[in-house]
Each structure stands twice: as C-alpha cells, then as structure tokens.
Chain A
Amino acid sequence: MEIKEHKRTEEALRLSEKRYRDVVENANDAIVVLQDGMHKFFNHKALEITGYSEEEYATQPFGHVIDPEDRDRVFERCLRILKGQEFSNNYPVRIIDKKGNKKWLEVNSVLINWEERPATLNFMADISDRKRAEKHIQTLTQELIKAREYARQRISRYLHDQVAQDLSTVKITCETLFDNYSGEYDEIRQKLSKMSEILQGSINAVRNLSYDLRPPSLDQLGLTRTIFQYCEDFSENNAVPVDFYSAGLDDVRLDFDTEINLYRIIQEALNNIKKHGNAKQVTVRLIASFPKIILRIEDNGIGFDVDKRLITALNEKRMGLRSMEERAILLNGKFRIRSRPMEGTKIFIEVPYKEEKNGSGKDRTDC
C-alpha cells in the first residue's frame, strides 16, 4: 500500500517535471540559471543562440560568452541583482557566439534560490535582427539628413550664383536697352521699367531663399558669429530675447558637418520655441570642452511632456525633436531634453570636438 502511494507520488512528480521541462525546452527565450559565474541550468535555446555544446556551455564561465565591452557592466548588474538592489528589465547585452559572431540579447533577470543558495534566473531573447534593423533605419535617417543638407547647399548656390545672377543681367539689360536710341519709345520704356521692377522682386525673393537654405556667413565668419547673428535676427523677428554665449570657440574652425548640424539644431530648437514655447527668455550656450563641444539651449516657456510630444510629432510627421537628436547622433554625439509643463525646456547636446580638416578650407570659400 505504502509502495503504491510512493509510486503514485513519484509518477506525479515525474509528470510535473516533464511538463516544466517541456515548457522550458520549447520556450522561445533562452532560460539560464547563473550561479558562481557558471551556467548551472539552461535550456536548448541557450545553446542554439550561443552555438555551444551542452558540455562546453556547462563548463565555461558565463563571462566568456559576454562581449568584452559589456562584461564589467553585466557583472556589476549581476551583483546588484544578487544583493536585491536591481530589478531593471529588458536589459540589452552583447554576446559573442562560438563562431565569433556578435549578437544582441535582451535579458530579464530575477533573483532565485538554486540549491539553497542565491542565483539569477535569466530569460534572454535574441534581438540581433531588431538591432540590425534599428541600426539600418538610423543609417538611412542620417544619410537622409546629409543628403538634404548637400541638396540645400547646391540649390542655395545655384539660386545665388546662377538664377539671381541671370535675373540681374536681364534687369540691367532692360534698363540699358534704349540707351543708344534717341527716338520716342515711351510706351516700351514704361513697360521695361515695369519689367525691371518685377525682376527686382524676383531677385530679392531668390536671394532670401538662397540665404534661408544655407547660412552664407558660415564660410566667412565661422560658427560662433553666424549663430550669434542668427540669434540676433531671431530675437528681432520674434520678440523673444535670445542670449548667446560661447566659450573657447573663437577663431576655431570646426569640421563642416559639425558646424552645419550644430547650426541646424539651434535653428530647429528656436523654431520649436517660437511655435510652442511661449518663452520670455532663451539662452543658447556653446562651450568648447575638449574633447567635446557642449551646446545648451534653455528657455523659460511653458514646457511640454517629451514623450507625448514625440508621439504626436510622429503622428503628424513632424520631425523637430527627432531631427535634433538624429543630427546629434550623426555627429557621434549625445542629445538630452528635459521639459516639464510650466518649467521650460532644457536641451543638452554634446558632440566630439572635430576641427576642420586640412585643405578643405579652400572648398568652402565659394564666394
């Protein structure tokens, strides 16, 4: 009787274990228990992702699998979890599989008891494809920004050096057409004078468009003077005082991409402030802090909820905040924004200090 009972319990246990086994083995995530730096328990998916055999995986320290660049970060996090100090999830980690390929995993960990001692139970999803897609999108976005910038430059130059030039030639020709005729051509003269007025309007329009597309003084006066001028013009046109301060950047010529993108970020930020900010005061500060450059744009406007703004902007296909961020990333820099309703907005950008390449100076003076 007792034996029968025992057998039933054993059978139940076996069944239950099999059920758990099935769940674990068929899970789409790698499931790994880590203790003393070793893989104490793992499912088949863990082997599939890392490419190791069961024996290899069980006998080598888990640190071996982690990308050396992430190792310290991962160890620290493990310690914090073991001490019960960390609960953050969806944690990205890079690993190197047996063949030497880099993979991105997203890790969720919890503290458990394993054989009477603390350990971590980790669920890991292979997100390499998603990361690759993200990287791809980012590359495309940046190429888009660059392409747009070059297109603007070309259009701007063409408008200024060709279209406006030709219009002026036509204008002066109109105005001197009858210089050598003495006869009475009043009617024609009047028409010509009308034409020349219209031409003047077109010349002004084309020129303004060209200057809007590309700040012409960037080449001649450099970044700080150009930004200063832009802030001044902005203050005057929009009745919002903009104070610009720079430190350590006089007489420094930065690489062209750095200059144009910092300039565009400021333009974008000020336009945002104009549109939504209700600011009474804006401060723009540009500071050389080798090996970085810091840009801070702060206003005392009504502020906004950054996440909500990003979503509405996405829905309305507006790119303001995103494009500032993309430009910062394009320069290998950082972008941070803090804004709270009624407390104004602070934008912080940090990009590498990159001086103008030798010899490229010549190409820029295109007057």
Chain B
Amino acid sequence: MVQEKTVLIVDDHPLFREGLKAIIGRSDRFRAVGEAENVRQGLQMVKKLKPDLVLVDISLPDKNGIELTREIRTLFTDIRVMIVSMHSKIDYITEAFHAGATGYVVKESASERLLHGLEAVSKGEYFLDSSVSYQVVHNMMKFPVKEARITDNDYGSLTPREQEVMRLLAEGSASKEIAEKLFISPKTVENHRSNIMKKLDLHSTLELVRYATKIGLIDLELWK
C-alpha cells in the first residue's frame, strides 16, 4: 500500500477550508492533518506537524501567502507548497513559483483539479491549473520576442543629470546655456556630454539628435 501524504491547509475562510478537506478526503492517498488561518499560525503548524504538502492561499490577513511559501521552502526544502488562490494573473503565478511553490490552482477549480495537483506536486513535479496555463504559455511565447523592444538599456544607464543634459543638448542648447541653466560649469557640461556620447555610442550631435528623436525625447516635427 502506498503511504498516505499529509496535507496542511492555510486559508482564512473556514468554509473554504472545509471544502478543501472534503476534496482531499475523496482520495485515500492524502490526508488533511491540520489547518491554519494566517501566516503566523501556518508557520507554527508547519514546524509542529512537518506535513508533506502545504496548500497556501495568497491573500491572508497578516502577511501574504507568497511570503509564507518562501519561508517554508527556506526552512524545509522537502515540504512542497501548492498555492490555492483567487488570483489568476500571470504576475502572481510567477511570484509564487519564484518563491518556491511547485503547484498553482485557482480557487474555483479546486474541486476538479486539486487532487491532480497534489498528485503531481507530491511526486516533485510542477503543476499549473489548466485554467491559467493558457495565459502563462501565451505570455511566455511573446515575451522573449517583444521584450527587447520595450526598453533601451543604454539610455537607462544615464544618470539623472546626464538625462537632463541630454535633453537640453538634443533641443539644441549650447554648452554655455546648459551650464547657466543647471548652475554648473561649462566644463562639467562637456564632461556629461562626452559621457553621454560614450554610453550611447554616439559620435556627433546629429547622431545624438537622431537618437533622442527615436526614443521620443524630442519631436523634430512639432515640438522641441
């Protein structure tokens, strides 16, 4: 006979915990051994009961379930955590897996999928509720392609002061005007200018203006 796995439930809704217990009760492979209604209590019970698996809700009254997951996984690497949450957005799912959870089920699919999840997670596999996995895969598919476009790392490496000087240069101000405006010496302006050119790999004012136009710092057509 296969050994029964013990499960601890951390959720602040008593009736929902009842439901989870009932579902766990449908299988003879799992047994609910305890329940907690907040992070503090959850952590105590984990230490006391050393369950095989913990079901964790994200929205809890004291701290959030992602923090609890992180603590459990740091203290006991062999205890598996599955999130059972209302949240269905990719960011929460990513956070949960980062924190060390290996399963994720949204609350309303619990009765259908909880047992599959427990089964997978207890074997050391990852489990993701199929009602959210479409979104996750969809995001994975497009992020690597497009993410490069949303940001410009070189420009991000400019200091606030360099950003300020960059815009004034792009708008056509002379070093002397910039110096007066920012209350610094023309020599300092020149230093900023050469740093900007180096960081952005630019070699002339024309290139600088072109670059500034491309990222939207200035608009040559209508506005400075």
Which A residues form the contact surface with B (CB < 8 A)?
160-161, 164-169, 171-173, 175-176, 179-180, 196, 199-200, 203, 207, 211, 216-217, 220-221, 224-225, 228, 232, 243-250, 285-291, 294, 296, 336, 338, 346, 348, 353, 365, 367
Residues of B contacting A346 in the complex (Cβ-Cβ under 8 angstroms): 219, 222
B151 touches A250 (CB 8 A): yes
CA distance A225 to B91 in the complex (A): 10
Kindly count the residue-residue contacts between A and B in the assembled complex, taking CB atoms under 8 Å apart: 145
Given contacts A216-B91, A353-B160, 10 further A-B contacts (CB under 8 A): A165-B86, A169-B15, A176-B22, A224-B151, A232-B142, A248-B152, A291-B164, A294-B217, A296-B216, A367-B95
Nearest 7 pairs between A and B by C-beta?
A172-B19, A285-B216, A176-B22, A290-B160, A168-B107, A175-B111, A220-B91
CB proximity of B83 to chain A, nearest CB, Å: 11
CA distance A231 to B202 in the complex (A): 30
CA distance A285 to B149 in the complex (A): 11
Does B161 interact with chain A (Cβ within 8 Å)? yes
B86 touches A160 (CB 8 A): yes
Question: Which of A172, A179, A243 is the most central at the interface, judged by chain B CB atoms within 10 Å of its CB?
Answer: A172
**In chain B, what residue has the closest Cβ to A170?**
B15
**In chain B, what residue has the closest Cβ to A171?**
B108
Residues of B contacting A203 in the complex (Cβ-Cβ under 8 angstroms): 108
Residues of A contacting B20 in the complex (Cβ-Cβ under 8 angstroms): 172
Residues of B contacting A217 in the complex (Cβ-Cβ under 8 angstroms): 89-91
CA distance A203 to B107 in the complex (A): 10
Does B128 interact with chain A (Cβ within 8 Å)? no
Interface string of B20-39 (1 = CB under 8 A from A): 10110110000000000000
Does B193 interact with chain A (Cβ within 8 Å)? no
CB proximity of A211 to chain B, nearest CB, Å: 7
Among candidates A199, A225, A243, A287, residue contacting B149 with C-beta atoms closer than 8 Å: A243
**In chain B, what residue has the closest Cβ to A200?**
B108
B217 touches A176 (CB 8 A): no
A245 touches B91 (CB 8 A): no
